[in-house]
C-alpha cells in the first residue's frame, strides 16, 4: 500500500504514537492552520524482519494494519483540536524513509519527530529525520528532544537561520523569513567563522572579520527592507560550524539550515554539518533544500 494523493501540497507529518511524534503533530497542525493548508497524517509500517515461518505473513500484516489505523485515529482526534481546515490521513506499508522521501516530492512541508538516539546510534540504526534532512525535496522540520510548543525564550533568537553567504543559502533564509513572519517571531541570521581562537561570539569591532560582518549586515539590511515588520538581528559566531550552530540554537524556536545538492567533495562537509546539527540541536530543526 503506497502513498495516495492526500499528501499533495499538504503539510505532512509522520505519526507513530510516540511522544516525539505527537509533539511533531502539534507543531505541524499549527503550521497547517497558519498557512491554510491541508494537514496529512502519515503512518508507515513495514514488516522488515518481523516475518517468521511460524506465523503467517498475512496475519502479521493484518495486525500491523490494525495498529496503524489505531495510531491514525488517535492522531486524527488530537489534530482536530487545532482547527485545521482539511485533515487527512494515510496508512502506508513501506520503509519509513522511502515512503516519506517519496512524499517530499509532492508535499509542501514534512514534519517528523526524533527519539534523540544521538549521532552514533542514528548512524548504526538509520534515522528517518537524518535521511529526510539529507535527501528530501521539500523543507523538513525535525522535532528534537527539548522542543516546546510555544516560544522557547522570549528574549531568544526566535527563528535562527544559518547562512554562509553563498547563493545556496538563499532558500533557507527566505523560508526562515516566511516562518518568522507567520509565527510573529524575531529572525536571527547567524554565520560562523573558524580562526583557531576559542569559540564564542565575534566582537562587532573585530578587525579580522570585518568583511564577513559587513556582508552579514548587508544581508540583514536587505531583509529588513523587504520585510519591514520583521525584527532582524545578526550573530557572528566563532568555532566549528556545527558546534557553533548547536550552541547558538539554545533558546531558539526553530533552527533553519540549508541543504544543497552535492556537487563536490567539499559539499560532503556541508552535509556533515547539517546532519550534525539535526542530530544534536535541541528543539526544532528545519532543513530547506536548494531549489532544483
Contacts of 202 (CB under 8 A, 6+ apart): 193, 209, 213, 236, 237, 238
Neighbour-count burial of 5, counting CB atoms closer than 10 A to its CB (0-12 exposed, 13-18 middle, 19+ buried): exposed
116/29 Cα distance (integer angstroms): 22
**Element spanning 21, H or E:** helix 19-35
pLDDT by residue (tens digit) across 63-113?
778 888 899 999 999 999 999 989 999 998 888 888 999 999 999 999 998
Check residue 121 and give its pLDDT.
Answer: 41
| 181 or 153, greater pLDDT | 181
Q: Which residue has the higher pLDDT, 67 or 219?
A: 219
Q: Residue 47 above 50 pLDDT?
A: yes
Q: Tell which wins on pLDDT, 168 or 48.
A: 168
Domain residue ranges of the chain, discontinuous segments joined by +? 5-143, 159-289
Query: What is the C-alpha to C-alpha distance for residues 255 and 258, in angstroms, rounded to an integer?
Result: 10
Grid coordinates representing 203 are: 566582537
* Residue 273: pLDDT band with limits 50, 70, 90: confident
Residue 150 has a pLDDT of 46
Weakest-pLDDT range from 10-19, 192-201, 256-265: 256-265
Mean pLDDT of 249-259: 92
Instruction: Report the relative pairing of strands 232-238 and 140-143 from DSSP bridges.
Output: unpaired
Q: What is the pTM of this model?
A: 0.88
What separation, in Å, do the N-terminal and C-terminal C-alpha atoms of the chain show?
A: 29
Nearest to 177 by CA among 164, 191, 158: 158
Measured distance CA(278)–CA(283) in Å, rounded: 10
* Strand positions, DSSP E, 97-213: 109-113, 140-143, 159-162, 187-193, 200-201
Mean pLDDT of 272-283: 87
pLDDT band (50, 70, 90) for residue 116: very low
pLDDT at 229 over 70: yes
Mean pLDDT of 272-288: 89
How many CB atoms sit inside 10 A of residue 59's CB? 9
Residue 151: is its pLDDT beyond 50?
A: no
CATH number of this structure's domain 5-143: 3.40.50.620
Retrieve residue 259's grid coordinates: 541543504
Which one has a higher pLDDT value, 267 or 213? 213
pLDDT top residue among 146 and 159: 159
pLDDT of residue 264 exceeding 50: no
What mean pLDDT do residues 189-198 have? Answer: 93
Q: What is the spatial distance between Cα 274 and Cα 130, in angstroms, rounded to a whole number?
A: 9
- Say if residues 29 and 57 touch (Cβ distance below 8 Å): no
Can you tell me the mean pLDDT for 44-54? 63
Rounded to the nearest 5°, which phi and psi values hold at 9? 70, 10
CATH 3.40.50.300 fits 159-289, yes or no: no
Residue 124, pLDDT > 50, answer: no
The CB-based long-range contact list for 61-69 (8 Å cut-off, 24+ gap) reads 61/93, 64/93, 65/91, 65/93, 68/43
Q: 12 pairs with which residues across the strands?
A: 40, 110
Return the minimum-mean-pLDDT range out of 67-81, 178-192, 267-281: 267-281
In angstroms, the CA 226 to CA 223 distance is 5
Provide the 10 A C-beta neighbour count for residue 255: 30
State the Cα–Cα distance between residues 43 and 38, nearest whole angstrom.
16
Same fold yes or no, 5-143 and 159-289: yes
Q: How far apart are CA 132 and CA 97, in angstroms?
A: 7
Edge-to-edge strand list for the sheet holding 159-162? 87-93, 39-45, 11-14, 109-113, 140-143, 284-289, 254-259, 159-162, 187-193, 232-238, 200-201
Q: What is the mean pLDDT of residues 126-133?
A: 75
Amino acid at each position: 500500500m503506497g502513498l495516495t494523493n492526500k499528501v499533495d501540497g499538504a503539510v505532512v507529518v509522520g505519526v507513530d504514537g510516540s511522544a516525539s511524534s505527537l509533539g511533531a503533530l502539534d507543531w505541524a497542525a499549527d503550521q497547517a492552520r497558519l498557512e491554510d493548508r491541508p494537514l496529512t497524517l502519515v503512518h508507515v509500517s513495514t514488516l522488515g524482519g518481523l516475518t517468521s515461518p511460524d506465523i503467517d505473513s498475512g496475519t502479521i500484516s493484518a495486525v500491523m494494519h490494525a495498529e496503524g489505523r489505531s495510531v491514525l485515529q488517535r492522531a486524527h482526534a488530537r489534530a482536530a483540536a487545532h482547527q485545521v481546515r482539511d485533515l487527512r490521513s494515510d496508512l502506508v506499508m513501506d520503509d519509513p524513509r522511502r515512503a516519506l522521501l517519496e512524499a517530499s516530492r509532492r508535499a509542501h512541508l514534512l514534519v517528523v519527530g526524533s527519539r534523540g538516539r544521538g549521532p552514533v546510534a542514528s548512524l548504526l540504526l538509520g534515522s528517518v529525520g537524518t535521511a529526510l534532512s539529507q535527501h528530501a525535496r521539500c523543507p523538513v522540520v525535525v522535532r528534537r528532544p527539548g522542543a516546546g510548543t510555544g516560544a522557547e525564550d522570549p528574549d531568544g533568537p526566535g527563528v535562527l537561520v544559518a547562512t554562509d553567504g553563498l547563493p545556496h543559502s538563499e532558500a533557507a533564509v527566505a523560508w526562515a523569513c516566511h516562518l518568522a513572519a507567520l509565527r510573529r517571531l524575531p529572525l536571527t541570521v547567524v554565520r560562523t567563522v573558524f580562526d583557531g581562537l576559542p569559540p564564542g561570539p565575534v566582537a562587532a569591532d573585530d578587525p579580522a572579520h570585518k568583511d564577513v560582518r559587513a556582508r552579514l549586515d548587508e544581508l540583514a539590511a536587505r531583509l529588513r527592507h523587504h520585510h519591514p515588520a520583521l525584527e532582524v538581528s545578526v550573530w557572528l559566531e566563532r568555532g566549528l560550524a556545527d558546534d557553533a550552530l548547536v550552541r547558538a540554537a539554545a533558546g531558539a524556536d526553530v533552527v533553519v539550515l540549508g541543504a544543497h545538492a552535492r556537487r563536490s567533495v567539499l559539499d560532503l562537509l556541508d552535509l556533515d554539518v547539517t546532519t550534525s546539527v539535526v542530530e544534536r540541536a535541541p528543539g526544532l530543526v528545519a532543513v530547506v533544500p536548494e531549489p532544483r
